[in-house]
Amino acid sequence: MNRFHGQDLHLYESGFEVCQPDKPFEFIPIDYFLLHYCVSGEGFLTLHNDQRHITAGDIFLILPNTANKYYPLPENPWSYRWVGVKGSMVKSILEECGFSYDNFVLHYDKDDTVLRCFQQIYERCTKSDYYTALGYLYQFFGTLTEKENSILLESETVHRQRLEKMIKYIYAQYTNDISVQSMADEFNFDRTYIYKLFKKEMGISPKQYLLNFRIEKACDLLCKSHMSVTEIGYAVGFNSFSCFSKQFCLKKGTSPMKYRKQFIK
């Protein structure tokens, strides 16, 4: 383990691994931010019950004190490099890069800059050259923020038109098992671009927008239809009644059944 201490930002650890096909699930409770860069192969990451398929060029973030598990695809096991960071400025720096609670996987395949930064951080740390290692960490962050800043450089009209298309997609498909990834696939947009666009124009993430829309549709059905509460949950796109009930309570402060009773004479 390599450490370079600083109040705002410091390196906590760095390393790399070429995984075997039978490598088991990993669950590592940590109190720092852990960044992985997938160099080759494939694997899966689950963070707060959200599973992502990871491929070469993906950078994924494991948040402090967050349940997580990740493992290689046996047919094409991944290799990856990682860097652990701590400090008072880390959260805001990562947000500038495009990371968030909902958006914890980014992709970079423009050139080998990210790979080189991860390699140099590790090599410099093994030589106790921590200042240079920290410099490469800043270069890594700079590369991602430059990519993120370039995402929204097109005209406001273009972004608005794209946002309208995605909102129409949600209106038409909310009853199905859709996600940010399905929108990315449908419109050939980067997940991060979609996240940034919704946050900028709507003030919330696309995942939250979809959830809010489903809850409002459920409210309408609870008031006006004779469908059972369970049927309504499935009808607005939830894959289980427990998930529907939990999210409804969080949004409305009451259960779907109690909400419905307000409108029964």
* CATH number of the CATH domain containing 75: 2.60.120.280
If asked whether residues 47 and 125 sit together in one domain, one would say yes
Lowest mean pLDDT among 4-8, 69-73, 234-238: 4-8
User: Final residue of a domain: which of 112, 133, 151?
Assistant: 151
Residue 4 lies in a domain: no
CA–CA separation, 145 vs 134, rounded Å? 17
If asked whether residues 50 and 87 sit together in one domain, one would say yes
CA–CA separation, 192 vs 205, rounded Å? 10
| Residue 265 confidence (pLDDT) | 57
Q: For residue 47, what is the DSSP state? A: E
Residue 227 lies in a domain: yes
Residue 50 lies in a domain: yes
Would the pLDDT of 149 be above 70?
no
Residue 203 lies in a domain: yes
Give, rounded to a whole angstrom, the gap between the first and last alpha carbons of the chain: 66
If asked whether residues 117 and 41 sit together in one domain, one would say yes
Residue 135 lies in a domain: yes
If asked whether residues 33 and 138 sit together in one domain, one would say yes
CA–CA separation, 47 vs 220, rounded Å? 32
Residues 6+ apart with CB under 8 A from 63: 33, 47, 101, 104
Q: Tell me how long the chain is.
A: 265
If asked whether residues 102 and 131 sit together in one domain, one would say yes
Residue 65 lies in a domain: yes
If asked whether residues 63 and 162 sit together in one domain, one would say no
Provide the number of structural domains found in the chain. Answer: 2
If asked whether residues 174 and 49 sit together in one domain, one would say no
Strand partners, 50: 47
If asked whether residues 33 and 56 sit together in one domain, one would say yes
Residue 197 lies in a domain: yes
Which long-range contacts link 73-77 to residues 24+ away (Cβ below 8 Å)? Answer: 73/41, 73/42, 73/43, 73/44, 74/21, 74/22, 75/21, 76/41, 76/42, 77/19, 77/20, 77/21, 77/23, 77/41, 77/42, 77/43
CA angle 9/29/56 to nearest 5° reads 75
Q: Which domain holds residue 162?
A: 156-265
19-66 pLDDT, tens digit each: 988 877 777 778 999 999 999 999 999 988 888 999 999 999 999 988
Structure token digits, residue 256: 């779907």
Q: Give the model's confidence band at 159: pLDDT under 50 very low, under 70 low, under 90 confident, else very high.
A: confident
If asked whether residues 206 and 219 sit together in one domain, one would say yes
By three-state DSSP, how is residue 152 classified?
coil
CA–CA separation, 166 vs 158, rounded Å? 13
If asked whether residues 74 and 176 sit together in one domain, one would say no
If asked whether residues 161 and 133 sit together in one domain, one would say no
| Residue 51 confidence (pLDDT) | 87
User: What percentage of the chain has pLDDT greater than the value 90?
Assistant: 61
CA nearest 63: which of 41, 48, 79, 43? 48
| Residue 141 confidence (pLDDT) | 95
Residue 5 lies in a domain: no
79-117 pLDDT, tens digit each: 999 999 999 899 999 988 889 888 899 998 889 999 999
User: Final residue of a domain: which of 116, 151, 186?
Assistant: 151
User: Final residue of a domain: which of 151, 181, 216?
Assistant: 151
If asked whether residues 145 and 208 sit together in one domain, one would say no
